Structures are given as structure tokens and as C-alpha cells.
Amino acid sequence: MKLKLFVMALLAAETLYTSASYAATNAEVDANLRKGRGIESSGEPLKALPIFEMALKEATAKAPGSVDEAEALTELGECYREIGQSAKAVPLLEKAIDIADKKGNLEISVAALANLALLLSDAGQYQESFACYMRCLDQIGKMPHPDASTQAKLENNMGLLLEKSEKHEQAIRMYQRALDHSAADESLSGLHIACLGNIAMSYKASKNLPQAEEYASKAVNEAKEVSGEDNLDYGYALAQQGMILVESHKFKEAKPALSQAITILEKSLGAKHPQVANVKESYAECLAGLK
């Protein structure tokens, strides 16, 4: 179960439904937003922080309560979320949601709500986080052309919340919705593979091992075909499959899957990564079962 939650956490970190296509009406605000996004996307949120702060200061001074201000609030709130300062992020995102809703800007509303949902989830407020995601889906449903990829990411994260609450059957249904929405978009192949693995692990948690094995096998085959045998997606899929096979006492089948998973994960994450240790524990259990 630890491995599955780790995979989901990675997906959650990627699920920042930013309104990066939005161009601020004020030239200075727009320039700072673009500059901040570029720095943030390069993995340096701390350096992006003062840029977004300047954008917000300018937007608030020139047009308080405007869409520009809502966008700057969202970007700054997301940046604070990324550096772990949730106390500063929450009020910014809440204000962004309020302004975006009043202005009828669905994209910025979804972006701010999604970031708020992640913060609430990290704080263990799963019910409140789930409610935010539901509001996101409602907003997307109002769009003239709903974005299936965003829906898939939202549903995937909602599955995680249900899983954390041990609502396995509901989680499976939500993962299945994400699976369906991600199927038609080649750019979401990694998410599609993860959804298959997440369904497998949910079935494992609910003690439905035949179904767990079926979906784990699908995840492994798809990851191998789409991502290749050296890819992290394939490593995760193998690890999940091996853990399920150990649970089924199919130790001979589990051994090569876990062994290869360890090799891939160590190469990508390092030998000391906690998820590598988690898979090694399953491998040790597998070896003990073979004796």
C-alpha cells in the first residue's frame, strides 16, 4: 500500500491545473507572471516567489478584484504550496477562488481549487479536499469544451482520497473514471498506467486478489510497451505486480518482478529511497516464502 500511495503522490504533484495560458491585461503583471512561471517550471519555486509577489502587488494596485489579481493570487498560492508554506497559500487561494467565481473565470477557479484540494489532502482533511475536487469537476462541466486530461487528473487524486479513507470500492470507481478519461490522450499514458496500477492495489486492499492480478498485469504490459523497460512507470508497475503476487503466495512469479523493480527504482530513485526499501521488504517476504 505504501508504494501505491507514493505513486499517487507523484501524480498529485503534477496535478497543478494552472491557468498558464491566461494573459494578464496589465503588461507589467503579465510579464512578471510569465517570468515567474518560467522560473517555477525549472524547479526553483523559491526564486519565483518574489516575482509572483510583484505581480500580485501590481495587479492589486491597478485593478483590485480583477481576473489579473485572481491569477496572481493563484500563482503565488501555488508557489507557497510547493515550498510547504500552507498557512500563506490557503488565504491566497481562497481569495483567488472568490474573485474568479465572481468574474466567471472557470479556468482560474479550477486552478485555485485544485491547489487548495492538494493542501487540504496534505493536512489530512480528506473530506474537505474531496469537496474541492468535486467543485473542480463541477466547474469543468460548465466549460464549453471540458478538458478530459484535467478531469482524469482530478479523478485520479479523488481516488487517492477515497483510498486513504479505506473506501476501496468507491476508489476503484473513481480510478476507472480517470482511466476512461485518460485513454484517448497519448500524453496521459503515464497516468493511464498509474490508474491501472492503482486499481490493482485497491483490489489488493479489498482482498480481491484475482482482480488485483489482472489489473497489475495490464499495468505492466502497458508500461513495457509505452514507456520501455528502463522507465520508472515500468518499475512501479512491476513492484505493484510483485507485491500482489506475494499476497497471493505466488512467490516464484513474484521474485523476478520484484527483483527487476528494485533494479529500476534504485537507478531512478537511489538505493536509500524509502520506496526502494518498501519493495525490498516485499522481496524479502517473497524469498522467505520460497524456502
Contact 212, 243 (CB under 8 A): no
DSSP the chain: -HHHHHHHHHHHHH-----TT---SSHHHHHHHHHHHHHHHTT-HHHHHHHHHHHHHHHHHHSTTSHHHHHHHHHHHHHHHHTT-HHHHHHHHHHHHHHHHHHT-HHHHHHHHHHHHHHHHHTT-HHHHHHHHHHHHHHHHTSSS--HHHHHHHHHHHHHHHHHTT-HHHHHHHHHHHHHHHTT-GGGHHHHHHHHHHHHHHHHHTT-HHHHHHHHHHHHHHHHHHT-TTSHHHHHHHHHHHHHHHHTT-HHHHHHHHHHHHHHHHHHH-TT-HHHHHHHHHHHHHHHHH-
At residue 24, what are phi and psi to the nearest 5 degrees?
A: -65, 145
pLDDT at 11 over 60: no
pLDDT at 99 over 90: yes
**What is the structure's pLDDT at 4?**
42
| All three cell numbers of 56 | 500580485
pLDDT in tens, 217-249: 999 999 999 988 888 889 999 999 999 999 999
**What is the structure's pLDDT at 21?**
52
**What is the structure's pLDDT at 70?**
95
pLDDT in tens, 26-70: 889 999 999 999 998 787 889 999 999 999 999 999 999 999 999
pTM: 0.75
pLDDT in tens, 147-164: 788 888 889 889 988 988
**What is the structure's pLDDT at 51?**
96
Average pLDDT over residues 185-213: 92
pLDDT at 22 over 70: no
Average pLDDT over residues 2-28: 52
**What is the structure's pLDDT at 20?**
47
**What is the structure's pLDDT at 17?**
47
Q: Distance between CA atoms of 218 and 238, rounded to whole angstroms?
A: 11
Q: Which residue has the cell 474541492?
A: 132
Average pLDDT over residues 105-119: 91
> What is the average pLDDT score of the chain?
88
Average pLDDT over residues 172-180: 94
pLDDT at 261 over 80: yes
Q: Distance between CA atoms of 194 and 175, rounded to whole angstroms?
A: 9
**What is the structure's pLDDT at 41?**
79
Q: pLDDT grade, residue 168 (50/70/90)?
A: very high
Which region holds residue 202: left if phi is over 0, alpha if psi is between -120 and 50, else beta?
alpha
* Residues above pLDDT 70, as percent of the chain: 92
Q: pLDDT grade, residue 177 (50/70/90)?
A: very high
Q: Distance between CA atoms of 55 and 69, rounded to whole angstroms?
A: 8
Output 8 or 132, whichever has higher pLDDT. Answer: 132
